[in-house]
Amino acid sequence: MHSAIFVTMAFDRYVGICNPLRYTTILSNAWIAKLGLVGLTRASLFLLPMPLLLPFYDIRIIPSTYCDHMSVTKISCGDITVNRMYGLVITFVVYGFDLMLIALFYSLIIRAIFILSSREAHQRALNTCMAHLSVMLMSYFPGFISSVTHRFDEGITPYIHIILANLYFLIPPMLNPIVYGIKTKELPEKMGKFTGRR
């Protein structure tokens, strides 16, 4: 779902920059609901087989700070090779497909930006995309690293997996409001007033 939201945000930026006059007709409430439903359906269909591929387990203590799929997988008592391979393929398919769509939308955005005549229009269009690209990098990179290291974990100590999972779980949501807030005028003004008083 997280990756599908990034694709939807890239599509939103594309429509906002390349077709601003038709924005409300293209991205109506019905279309946004359909995009959300497609993302939810895709996530459900891809993730539903993962717990079904697990053999039964008898240990009930998960060696992690929260219950993620790979922590549950590691305490199962049978062969988890099929589950690992399925998870790895899904990771590459979902990330690969979504990153391809995001790259397509941003290449169309960049092409549209260079058609714009004024330098101010270039700057404004690029500024609307920079926050989204920053949040994507902060989210995709730790998520991909965490997912891949869980599946090729020979020689990696368990606390490294826990640290990577926690970084993926905590850092992007914590930094998202900061990244998007920097683009607004109110946050820098309030920060200037706050630091000016001290």
The rounded mean pLDDT for the chain is 79
Q: What is the pLDDT of residue 58?
A: 63
Q: Which CATH class is domain 2-185?
A: mainly alpha
Q: What is the pLDDT of residue 124?
A: 73
pLDDT (tens digit per residue) in 76-101: 777 777 877 888 888 888 888 998 99
Q: What is the dihedral of CA 187, 193, 196, 198, to 10 degrees?
A: -100
Position 34 pLDDT exceeds 90: yes
pLDDT band at 37 (very low <50, low <70, confident <90, very high): very high
User: Contact, 18 vs 108, CB < 8 A?
Assistant: yes
pLDDT (tens digit per residue) in 118-167: 777 777 777 777 878 888 888 877 777 777 776 666 677 777 777 877 88
- Where along the chain do its domains lie? 2-185
How far CA 173 is from CA of 136, 138, 139, 177, in Å, comes to: 11, 9, 9, 8
Position 197 pLDDT exceeds 70: no
